[in-house]
Amino acid sequence: MKKRFTIEDLCCAHCAAKMEDGIRKIPGVQTAAVNFLTQKLTVEAPDEQFESIMDEVVALCKKIEPDCVINR
Cα angle 68, 14, 66; round to 5? 25
Distance between CA atoms of residues 42 and 67, nearest Å:
19
* Whole-angstrom distance, CA of residue 64 vs CA of residue 51: 20
**Model pTM score:** 0.93
CATH code for the domain in which residue 23 is found: 3.30.70.100
Could you read off the pLDDT of 8-42 as tens digits, one per residue? 999 999 999 999 999 999 999 999 999 999 999 99
Please tell me the total count of domains within the chain. 1
Which residue range(s) make up the domain with 24?
Answer: 2-71
In the 8-state DSSP scheme, what is residue 72? -
d(CA 34, CA 57): 11
